[in-house]
Amino acid sequence: RRLLGTAGAAGAAGLMAGGAAGAGVAAAVDGEPVALATVGSAHIPFEGAHQAGIVQPAQARGHLVAFDLVAGADRKDAAALLRRWSDAVRTMTAADRPSAPAAYDDQVAYDAGPSSLTVTFGFGRSFFGRTGLGSALPEALAPLPDFAGDRLDAARSNGDLWVQIGADDALVAFHALRVLQKAAGGTAAVRWQMNGFNRTPGAAPHPMTGRNLMGQIDGTNNPKPSDPDFARRVFVPAGGSPGWMAGGSYAVVRRIRMLLDDWDHLAVARQEKVIGRRKSDGAPLSGGTEFTPVDLAKFNADGSPAIAGDAHVRVAAPASNGGAAMLRRAFSYHDGIDQDGTPDAGLLFVAWQADPLKGFVPVQRKLDGGDGLSRFLRHESSGLFAVPGGVGRGEYVGQRLLE
């Protein structure tokens, strides 16, 4: 029975990918679904109106990587690199894929299917100066403001190029990272790299919103692709500026450390007040179940607000921020235990929006000042990247910018 849960999870991913649903159907052996084959065979097409890895549910494994162009690399070199990268990803994500272009293959992903692999490419602000493309620099790539709570490590922030890799299999994800690093050789070098994870499809009995490392159900009130204003909030419209970003999106990347020892000392009722939702099932403290809309105006019998004044969901809500909304699609991370015994763990927060000045920036400004959760967080690195629209047959990502 439990195996069927896996088929459902993969099917849901396929549906969101738009047309890839068939890939999620379980193979049957003696009439029984085979969960492992289902996870492996799920594939998300590389080509489409938008790059893959934005609207699909975040995979079980993620790598976030920034590259800097090497000294002397110019726009033509960058275009050739995006061509090599795009062709490699096209091959690795195909339903009937060979594991990778032969030139870079190390056989690490042999035997595995595409496993919902997506690779998403973006450009950082510094890319435009280095390639003489200053006139194409989007206004939306203005540096993010400083926030009072920031403790940013410049070496792990920003970068000329950004790559987000996601897959439901760890070997497939690692392999993609290696292939892209080899293909970058001579043109771009890794600036920073982070590894993340989420619940594995099939680990829960049916598709559910995931949990983060504080134990909260995280992602409930995200914009949904079925919302009428979803595309307007997340993607740059055709006719938007600059023209080469049509169908694209802006990714804000924050490595947010969770101060888990402090957090774990709070009683669950306190933790719930900090967020404004129940920990067990994600229901808002104003009542109902996980997907019941939060009622920010509701008061308890004793006259206190049902959702506290500094509750994360109140401070972050679009209603508190002039309608500002973003699609949060994060990976958890854990990079070991520090000398003092505290876990180096938290969230690789990735927020997608058509304009960061109408998404992340106003919300983070509010959170920075008055969010009960921020006492338990530390923003340790930051990046903002312009992620161009998707590609058609034979095209490479960023072609409209680079050719």
Contact 253, 162 (CB under 8 A): yes
Q: Least distance in Å: CB of 268 to ligand HEM? A: 13
**Which residue's structure tokens are 């975040």?**
58
Q: By C-beta, is 100 or 363 nearer to ligand HEM? A: 363
Q: Which two tokens stand for residue 313?
A: 């969901």
Q: Least distance in Å: CB of 67 to ligand HEM? A: 24
Please classify residue 348 by burial: count the beta carbons closer than 10 Å to its beta carbon, then call 0-12 exposed, 13-18 middle and 19+ buried.
Answer: buried
Q: By C-beta, is 65 or 316 nearer to ligand HEM? A: 316
Residues that bind ligand HEM (CB under 6 A): 212, 214, 216, 218-221, 254, 256, 258, 275, 277, 294, 312-313, 316-318, 328, 346-347, 349, 360, 363-364, 367, 377
Q: By C-beta, is 7 or 351 nearer to ligand HEM? A: 351
Q: Least distance in Å: CB of 150 to ligand HEM? A: 11
Q: Least distance in Å: CB of 123 to ligand HEM? A: 22
HSE (CB half, 13 Å, CA atoms) of 377? Answer: 28
Residue in the shown chain whose Cβ atom is closest to ligand HEM: 221
> Which among 68, 218, 310, 355 is annotated as catalytic?
218
Q: Least distance in Å: CB of 138 to ligand HEM? A: 20
Judge whether 106 counts as a catalytic residue: no
Amino acid identity, position 398: G
Q: By C-beta, is 26 or 326 nearer to ligand HEM? A: 326
Q: By C-beta, is 149 or 242 nearer to ligand HEM? A: 149
The residues, ordered by sequence, that sit 6+ positions from 182 with a Cβ below 8 Å of its Cβ are 104
Q: Which two tokens stand for residue 107?
A: 């056989």
Residues in the chain: 403
What residues are annotated to the active site? 218
